[in-house]
């Protein structure tokens, strides 16, 4: 893609990656593997620092709710967002995700401080 040259700048010092995709597009299912590889594995970030969001458009077929992703994507936290039906659920999942990222940042900061002291 024409934005690939910008990726290193986007990735620099990032603590988390949220990948949003349309589960009804087979091309998206291929692309999220590439995004995961570039933005999570190569950084490297922990799988817990990545959140997958399968976004369902209004009036879309609901049978993608039981979406099964192949390894390594099946190790990631996956949420389904449908803002028509359940925006509150999505909001709660985002809050949980951000809290976990903050916990990871605090832990690594404490480790750094301890290594400076010792």
Domain count, the chain: 1
CATH code of the domain in which 81 resides: 3.40.50
For position 51, what pLDDT does the model report? 97
The reply to whether the predicted model has a pTM over 0.95 is: no
Contact indicator for 87, 60 with CB cutoff of 8 Å: no
- Report the Cα–Cα distance between both ends of the chain, in Å, rounded: 45
Q: Is the pLDDT of residue 2 over 80?
A: no
The predicted-structure confidence for 11-35, as pLDDT tens digits, reads as follows 888 899 999 999 988 888 889 999 9
Is the predicted pLDDT of residue 60 greater than 80, yes or no? no
- Read off the pLDDT band of 97 (50, 70, 90): very high
Range of the domain at 77: 6-115
**Domain contains 95:** yes
């Amino acid at each position: 893609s024409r934005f690939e040259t910008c990726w290193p700048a986007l990735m620099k010092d990032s603590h988390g990656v949220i990948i949003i995709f349309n589960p009804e597009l087979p091309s998206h299912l291929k692309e999220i593997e590439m995004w995961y590889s570039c933005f999570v594995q190569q950084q490297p970030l922990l799988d817990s620092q990545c959140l997958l969001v399968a976004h369902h458009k209004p009036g879309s077929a609901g049978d993608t709710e039981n979406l099964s992703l192949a390894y390594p994507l099946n190790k990631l936290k996956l949420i389904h967002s449908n803002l028509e039906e359940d925006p509150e659920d999505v909001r709660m999942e985002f809050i949980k995700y951000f809290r976990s990222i903050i916990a990871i940042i605090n832990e690594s900061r404490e480790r750094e401080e301890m290594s400076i002291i010792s």
